[in-house]
Structure 1
C-alpha cells in the first residue's frame, strides 16, 4: 500500500516531467490525477471521480461569466474597435517622447477593459500598432516589446479571464476579484507609460515624436471609442453597486458590445460568426484545462499534500513576507516552463492553504499572483506573449522581442513591490463594494 503523502509528492514530480516533455497541460493533469486516484481508490472509484468531479465543480451558472467576457473581446476586435482605440490614443499622445509606444500601452489598456485574454491583446496589436511603429522608424526591439508587454494588462484590468479562473479555484468572490484588479491594472499601465517616456527621453534614437493634432481631431477620435467606456461603466458599475452579479455584468457587457458592433457598417454577419466561433474555441480550451486540473486536485485532496505543505511552511521560523517572496520567486521559475493558466490551476490547491495560514487576504494575493503571471508572459524561455508577437511577425527574432520586453519586466517587478507594500491599492475598491 502506497503512503498517500509520498504518492502525492511523487505525482507532482511526474506531472512536472510530463509538462517538461511537452505534454499538454490538460492531458498531463488529467492523466496524473486519474492514475493517482486509481492507485489510491481503485478502478471504480477513479472512473467515478474523474467523470463526476469536473461536472460537479463547473456546472454552475456563475461560471458562464467566462465565455461572456471572452465574447466581449472578440466582438470588439471584429468590429474594428481595437483600431479605433489605437488611433484615438495616437492622436492624443503621439506627440510625446515615444508617443506611438505610449499610444500602444494606452490602447492595450483600453482593449483590456473589453477583453479578458492577454495573448489575444498582443496578437491584435501586433497587427495594428507594431506596423505603425516600424513604419515611423521606431526601434524594432522596443516596438515588439511594448506590444508583448501591453498585452499583459488584460490579465488584471476587468473583465479578466484569469481572475475568474483564480476565483473558481480559490473559491473566493469573483466580483470582488474583478474590482480589485482595476486599480492595480491602471497602475501597471501608468508605470508602463512612465517607462516608455523615460526610455525615449534617455535615448531619442529609439523613435521620433509624432505630429500634433488639433483639439477637434482629438474629440472626434474620442467619440469613436465611447462604446468602450460604456461597456466598462456597465461592468464596473454593476459590480460596485451590486446591482448586477459578475455573470449578469458579463451578459450585459456582451449584449451592449453586440449592439455597438451592429451599429458599425464594417461589422458583418461573417464577422459575428467568426467572433462566436473563436469564443467557443477559447472557452472550450480553458474549461478543458480546468476540468483536467480538477481531477488532479481531487487526488491531491485525498493525498493530503496541500495540508502537509502548508503545515511545513508555517512551521518555518521566518517572517511571513519572506515566505511570500519565496512563493512568488517559485512562480517566476515555474513560469519559465508553463503557461499562466496552467501554472495557477496546478499550484493554487497547494498554495492557497499556505496563504490562508499566513494570514494574507486571498483577494490581495490573487492580484499579486496574477501580476506574477503577467511577468511570466514576457520572460524567457516561454514568454507566451513574446511568442505571440513572433507568430504574427516571424521576421522579428525572439531575442529582440525579449530584449524589448525587459524594461517592462523591471516595471512589473516595481509594481509588485508597490502592491505588496501598499495592499490598500488592491483592497479599497472591493472593500468599498462590501460596504
Structure 2
C-alpha cells in the first residue's frame, strides 16, 4: 500500500473509531502508532510515540491552558458566576426576554473568566434555567438560551480552544485571543436580537420582570468587578505588551483566587475547583498527545501536502472552496466533538487554507465559530446534551427546539466573519 493510500485509510479508521465511541485521544494515538509501524517499523513507531507527547507538552504556550481552566472553575465554585448573573438580571431584566438577556450577558461574563463551553452551559443550567422557569418562561426558550450562551466561552478571551488551535498551527496565541473579542461581542449582540425578535413575536414565552431602581443597579456593579479585572488584565496585558498570555493568565488566576478567598470559599468548594481543573487539563493534554502522534503519521504519508496541491489546483474561486470547507465543518460538527474535530482536520485543512491566501488568525476564529455551532446542533450537540443531562425532565428534542431560532443568528454571524475579515484582524493588527 502506498503512503498516500495508507494516510486515507488511517483517517477513515480514525473517524470510524471515534464514531464507535472510542475517545479521540486513544483512537488517534492507536491509529498513528499502527500507521507508523506499517510505514517504518515497530521500533521507530514506538520511539516516536514516546517522544511526541513530551516534545509537545513542553511547549511554553500550553502552560496557559491550566491557568485559564483554573480561573473558570474557581469563579464557578466561589459563587462569582452567581453574582454576575444577579447583576445582569438587575440591569437588563426589564427588557423583552429580560432573564434570557441577562443569561446571555452573564454567560459572556463567565466566558471572560472561563474559556470552557460545556462548563458555562453546566453552570447556567443550574443557575439561570430554574430562575427563568420560576418566572414563567417557556422551557424550550430557556434551555436554548442556556445552551447557546455557553458557546460564547470559545470566542471571548480566555479561550482554551483558541490556545489549542494556536499550538497546532503554530500561530500567535496572543493575537488569537485578541481576535476572539470582537466576534464574541458580535455574537452577544446577535443572540440578544434573536431573543428580542422571538419574544416580540410571542410575548407569552417570556413574561416581563419587575422593574429595578437605579440605585439597585449601581449596587450590583461591584459584583462583576472580578470579571472586569480578569478581562482587563488578560486583554490589556497582552495588547500593551506588558505580559505574555501565560503571565496575564497567572495574574488573572491570582485575582480570582483572592476574590474566592475574600468570598470565604469553603474548603470543599476549593478542593472541587482544583480537582475539576486537573481533570479537564489532563483530558485536553491527552487529546493533544494522541492527535500529535497521528499528525506525525500523516506527515510521513505526505497526505497533507497532496491535499494542499489538489485544493490549490482546483479550477474554482477560492470563496467556493472556503464555502465547501465551511459545509464540511458544519456536517462534522453534527457527529464529532469540537476539540477532536479541530485536531483531526487541521493537519490536512490548514495548509490548504493558507495556500489559498487566507489569514491563519482569521481562519482560526471562523473555525472556532463553526465548532461552536456544532455543539448546539443535533445529533451530537454537546451543550444540548449537558442541559438535558443536568435536567432529565427537559427532553433533548426540547433543547434542540429552543436552539433553532439562534441558528439563524449563527448564519448571520458567519456571514459577518466572511464579509468583514478586518473586524476580526483589527485588534491583532494593532498589536503589531
Check conservation: 2:120, 2:150, Cα contact below 8 A.
yes
Q: Shift of residue 17 of structure 1? A: 1.1
- Cα deviation digits, residues 329-352 of structure 1 (max 9, x gap): 101111111100000011101011
Q: CA deviation at 1:298?
A: 0.1
Instruction: Report the equivalent of 1:188.
Output: 187
SS of corresponding position for 1:379: coil
TM-fit CA distance, 1:272:
1.5
* Counterpart contact for 2:93–2:101, Cα < 8 Å: yes
Residue 291 of structure 2 is aligned with which of 283, 287, 293? Answer: 293
Aligned partner of residue 115 in structure 1, secondary structure? coil
Q: Partners of 1:114 and 1:28 in 2: how far apart?
A: 32
- Distance across 2 between alignment mates of 1:145 and 1:64: 34
Distance 1:207 1:192 in 2: 15
Aligned counterpart for 2:341 among listed residues 336, 343, 360: 343
Which runs of 5 or more structure 2 residues have no equivalent in the other structure?
Answer: none
The separation in 2 between residues aligned to 1:115 and 1:99, in whole angstroms, is 24
Equivalence map 1:248-267=2 (5 Å): 248-265=247-264, 267=265
- How many angstroms does 1:273 deviate by? 1.4
Q: Secondary structure at the match of 1:57?
A: helix
Q: 1:275, CA displacement in angstroms? A: 0.9
Q: Deviations over 1:203-255 (max 9, x none)?
A: 10111010110111001111111111011100000110111001111111101
CA-CA distance at 1:270 after TM superposition: 2.1
**Distance across 2 between alignment mates of 1:417 and 1:182:** 17
Per the TM alignment, residue 54 of structure 1 is displaced from its structure 2 partner at its CA by: 1.6
Deviation at 1:407, TM superposition (A): 1.2
Superposition RMSD on alpha carbons, in Å?
0.7
In structure 2, the residue matched to 1:164 is: 163
One of 269, 272, 275 as aligned partner of 2:270 = 272
Q: Does 1:409 align with 2:407?
A: yes
- Measure how far apart 1:198 and its partner are: 1.0
Indicate whether 1:216 and 2:191 are aligned: no
Aligned-pair distance for 1:194?
0.9
Question: Match for residue 392 of structure 1?
Answer: 390
1:14-25 alignment runs, 5 A limit? 14-25=13-24
Task: Determine the C-alpha separation between the residues in 1 that align with 2:308 and 2:177.
Answer: 27
Query: Deviation of residue 274 (structure 1)?
Result: 1.2
Structure 1: gaps (5+ residues): none
Higher mean displacement: 165-174 or 269-278: 269-278
TM (norm. structure 2) is 0.99
Q: Which residue of 2 aligns with 1:81?
A: 80
Q: Distance in 2 between matches of 1:60 and 1:425?
A: 30
How far does residue 58 in structure 1 lie from its aligned partner after superposition?
Answer: 2.0
Match of 1:359 in 2: 357
The runs of 4+ residues in structure 1 deviating greater than 6 Å are: none
Structure 1 residue 60, shift from structure 2 partner: 2.1
SS of the equivalent of 1:391 reads helix
Match in the other structure for 2:318: 320
Q: Which residue of 1 aligns with 2:327?
A: 329
Deviates more, 1:15-24 or 1:173-182: 15-24
1:34-62: CA deviation from partner (whole Å, max 9, x where unpaired):
00000001010000001101211221222
* Equivalent in the alignment of 1:51: 50
Aligned residues: 432
Please give the alpha-carbon distance, in whole angstroms, between the structure 2 residues aligned to 1:127 and 1:216: 28
**Alpha-carbon distance in 1 for matches of 2:288, 2:222:** 39
The CA distance in 2 between the partners of 1:146 and 1:60, in whole Å, is 37
SS of equivalent to 1:360: coil
Contact 2:100/2:132 (<8 A) preserved: yes
Cα distance in 1 for residues equivalent to 2:306 and 2:319? 20
**DSSP-derived class of the 1:224 partner:** helix
**TM-score, with length taken from structure 1:** 0.98
